[in-house]
């Protein structure tokens, strides 16, 4: 199964607006559920998949089937991911993440579902975030099921591959750096420290199903919300679109903040076509909700990563 690379709206697709008032009114009423995508993290230096200059225009992400079946594919993945982690693991929340956290603190949200694996919502202070596609801060053994911290794996990979420091052409939303096969070379992959099994990041690869209980948890949140607010997602794949369709079927208003058209626009009350960070900050100001400005740029920590994602230590097993 290859990832959906693009989606093209028809000529009669609903246009976007630059008026944020529909979203402001929904937030003012409260009981809003946020569904976020890669677009909310672009201002933190992490590119999205399908926007202008999106990573899918230059590479195809690892699929679950390839990762399971091919040791060479796993070597390529871990070499690229190990290098990408040095930047990805140091990313900091931006104004959009901080605005969402501020809305939550002021009781305007019922929760946050994120399709991202970067941990930036939690780093900004959002509570009870459901990570639909998992998180790169955890690693799971496919043999014994043990979870371990990504920073520990980064240390082991660093020791197993001294001097590995190729220059990547770019980094992708899944933390995968763009490297050629020559740059990957004979990169050494390390096994599970407990049983010697194959290690995989605790994220949902393309071609892999989201755990059913996680989907049902999200469906429950959608069912309880008074409105669904989509932030920075093209909704190209069914993983997020199904919740938009669920809300629309139930008569729950759907609002979208995304500069480009999305596959969910037909189900939405409005799509606000504005940059997320400034738009959400402006909305917060209209609501009298202060958004902290940390004034912190990207960290310059160690090769094993030292930002908010790298610092997380909880490794819950899927129920």
Which residues are annotated as part of the binding site? 37-57, 115-118, 141, 144, 192, 195, 232-234, 276
Annotated binding site for Zn(2+): 141, 144, 192, 195
Examine the residue annotation and report whether 158 is marked as an active-site residue of this protein: no
H helical segments located in the chain: 21-29, 64-69, 71-88, 95-105, 120-124, 150-160, 181-184, 212-224, 238-249, 276-287, 308-311
Q: What angle do CA 67, 71, 73 make, to 5 degrees?
A: 50
State the catalytic residue, choosing from 97, 133, 158, 267. Answer: 133
**Separation between Cα atoms, residue 75 and residue 73, nearest integer Å:** 5
Distances (CA, A) of 53 to 33, 58, 78: 29, 9, 24
Query: What are the residues whose beta carbons fall under 8 Å from the beta carbon of 317, sequence distance 6 or more?
Result: 145, 147
Dihedral angle of Cα 130, 126, 276, 54, to the nearest 10 degrees: -40
The C-alpha R_g of the chain, in whole angstroms, comes to: 19
Annotated binding site for NAD(+): 37-57, 115-118, 232-234, 276
Nearest to 235 by CA among 260, 215, 213, 214: 260
Q: What are phi and psi of 26, to 5 degrees?
A: -65, -45
Cα four-point dihedral sign 111, 114, 119, 124:
negative
Nearest to 46 by CA among 34, 36, 32, 33: 36
The DSSP H or E segment spanning 230 is strand 227-231
H helical segments located in 89-131: 95-105, 120-124
**Separation between Cα atoms, residue 202 and residue 142, nearest integer Å:** 10
Q: What amino acid positions are annotated as catalytic residues?
A: 133
């Amino acid at each position: 199964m290859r990832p959906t690379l693009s989606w093209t709206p028809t000529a009669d697709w609903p246009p976007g607006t630059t008026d944020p008032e529909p979203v402001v009114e929904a937030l003012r009423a409260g009981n809003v559920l946020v569904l976020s995508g890669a677009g909310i993290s672009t201002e933190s230096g992490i590119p999205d998949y399908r926007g202008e200059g999106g990573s899918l225009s230059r590479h195809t992400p690892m699929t679950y089937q390839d990762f399971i079946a091919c040791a060479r594919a796993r070597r390529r993945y871990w070499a690229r991911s190990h290098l990408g982690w040095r930047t990805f693991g140091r990313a900091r929340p931006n104004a959009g993440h901080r605005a969402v956290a501020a809305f939550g603190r002021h009781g305007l949200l019922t929760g946050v579902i994120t399709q991202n694996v970067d941990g930036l919502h939690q780093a900004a202070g959002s509570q009870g975030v459901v990570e639909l596609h998992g998180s790169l801060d955890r690693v799971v053994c496919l043999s014994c099921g043990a979870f371990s911290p990504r920073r520990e794996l980064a240390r082991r990979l660093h020791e197993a591959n001294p001097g590995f420091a190729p220059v990547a052409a770019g980094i992708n939303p899944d933390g995968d750096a763009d490297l050629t096969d020559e740059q990957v070379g004979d990169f050494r992959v390390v096994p599970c420290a407990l049983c010697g099994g194959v290690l995989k990041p605790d994220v949902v690869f393309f071609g892999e199903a989201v755990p059913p209980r996680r989907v049902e948890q999200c469906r429950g949140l959608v069912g309880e919300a008074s409105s669904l607010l989509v932030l920075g997602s093209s909704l190209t794949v069914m993983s997020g679109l199904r919740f938009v369709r669920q809300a629309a079927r139930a008569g729950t208003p759907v609002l979208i903040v995304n500069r480009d058209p999305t596959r969910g626009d037909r189900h939405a009350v409005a799509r606000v076509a504005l940059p997320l960070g400034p738009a959400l900050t402006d909305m917060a100001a209209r609501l009298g909700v202060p958004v902290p400005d940390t004034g912190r740029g990207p960290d310059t920590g160690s090769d094993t990563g030292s930002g908010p994602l790298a610092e997380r230590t909880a490794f819950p097993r899927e129920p």
